[in-house]
Amino acid sequence: MTTSSPTLIRQIRVLDPVTNTNTISDILLGSGIIQAIEPHLDNIAPKTKIIDGKNLIIGPGLMDLYSYSGEPGHEDRETLNSLIQSAIAGGFTRLAILPQTIPPIDNLATLSYLQQQAQSLPPSIKLDFWGNLTLKGEGQQMTELGELAAAGVIGFTDNQGIENLGLLRRILEYLKPIKKPIAMVAEFASLKGNGVMREGYSSINYGLPGNPTMTEATAVATILEMVAVTQTPVHLMRISTRRAVELIAWGKARGIPITASTTWMHLLLDTEAIASYHPSLRLDPPLGNPEDRLALIDGVSQGIIDAIAVDHHGYTYEEKTVPFAEAPPGAIGLQLALPLLWQELVEKGQLTELQLWKALSCYPRQCLGEKSTPLTPGQPAELIIFDPQKSWKVTPLTLKSLDSNTPWLGQEIKGQVIS
């Protein structure tokens, strides 16, 4: 929320995840900064716009650690502009874009193109770009990591598992002095086979090929051992299983420099939902078994899982209107994540308001080695206002994304960012 003229919001719930406070206060905004926050503000200047904040929530803008852009290469799926509009509608003020564009962000030319495009877009949201660790993200040869780092990538990821462990060791050693974040998918594709859902009772019941838990667990264990030796900080992306949460807790307890994130859909749904065979439930990694989902929620509440990512991935209607096992993995979520997480986890008592807001705002920044500032006078007003009770229907018209590949399409949901 940015405002140049003075605006006073009276008696709004203020969530400050940095100071860990949840208060009802008056907040005065103006000239793009927080002017004052007090239990009650009097002596307000004439012509100040006054808003009744009753039943509303204000907090820092959210950050998504990783989402896909269709531009360049698949502008029919999503453009940078449509991605930004989705983010704004969902309360995100900062996005980190994955390098799986066409061509990929494994060279200076693609990075420069995207940076230039970002400069021409509305300034209400900041775009960052991940660079590939290896050429084309194929895990065979390192990119020019130093050049990409100097040119401004936020960090590096192949967005898939790297099974060439000798190469991975060299990457970790090379990047340590560069001090750029490294995000890794904990997956050994050779164990996954043709699995399209998490292996277990449900995969047998639904007749779909199973992807075993050890696909993720063995990769997490391997990365932990390598990071313990190199001491190069690593962020583990898309954690989806109970066993991985246990291993990460073990690694953190021993001081191994790791952070971890899961995606919003892995917190809300599990293999039981796949009974519908909805192609937008085809994800990678797949939705976990019920015990995995509960372990992830517990991991977020305990801080074992640092951040919640959206992993927004648009596909056209034609691409997703296929049988479940043939659908490309991914779903949209920038506009849906906060309302649905609030509705299903906060209102049902599984996470507190601050736990959720931390995992969506300041903790993603910490995973990138950045610090967040408390909500105090003089600080930039990078804030959003959220109405947790406002209902709306998810339709192609209400979604700002070019795509509507979500299992919540056509449903009425509660909670909406209003500014």
Q: How many CB atoms sit inside 10 A of residue 184's CB?
A: 27
- Spatial contact of 216 and 239, defined as CB atoms under 8 Å apart: yes
Question: Is 76 a catalytic site residue?
Answer: no
Give the residue among 113, 93, 104, 92 at the shortest CA–CA distance from 68: 104
- Spatial contact of 333 and 120, defined as CB atoms under 8 Å apart: no
Instruction: Report how far residue 24's alpha carbon sits from residue 37's, in angstroms, rounded to the nearest whole number.
Output: 10
Give the residue among 258, 356, 270, 343 at the shortest CA–CA distance from 307: 356
Instruction: Report how far residue 209's alpha carbon sits from residue 11's, in angstroms, rounded to the nearest whole number.
Output: 53
- Spatial contact of 14 and 34, defined as CB atoms under 8 Å apart: no
Instruction: Report how far residue 184's alpha carbon sits from residue 98's, in angstroms, rounded to the nearest whole number.
Output: 12
Residue of 106, 270, 311, 403 marked active site: 311
- Spatial contact of 94 and 131, defined as CB atoms under 8 Å apart: no
Give the residue among 390, 388, 265, 354 at the shortest CA–CA distance from 60: 354
**What single-letter DSSP state applies at residue 343?**
I
Residues in the chain: 419
Q: Is 231 left (phi over 0), alpha (psi -120 to 50) or beta?
A: left
- Spatial contact of 337 and 288, defined as CB atoms under 8 Å apart: no
Q: Could you give the count of Cα atoms lying within 13 Å of 319 in the half-sphere of its Cβ? A: 17
Instruction: Report how far residue 99's alpha carbon sits from residue 182's, in angstroms, rounded to the nearest whole number.
Output: 13
Instruction: Report how far residue 374's alpha carbon sits from residue 384's, in angstroms, rounded to the nearest whole number.
Output: 15
Q: Is the dihedral of CA 193, 198, 199, 201 positive or negative?
A: negative
Q: How many CB atoms sit inside 10 A of residue 178's CB?
A: 15
**What single-letter DSSP state applies at residue 270?**
-
To the nearest 10 degrees (0 to 180), the angle between helices 353-360 and 290-302 is: 90
Reported as type and span, the H/E element at residue 83 is helix 80-90
Instruction: Report how far residue 298's alpha carbon sits from residue 295's, in angstroms, rounded to the nearest whole number.
Output: 5
Query: Which residues belong to the active site?
Result: 311
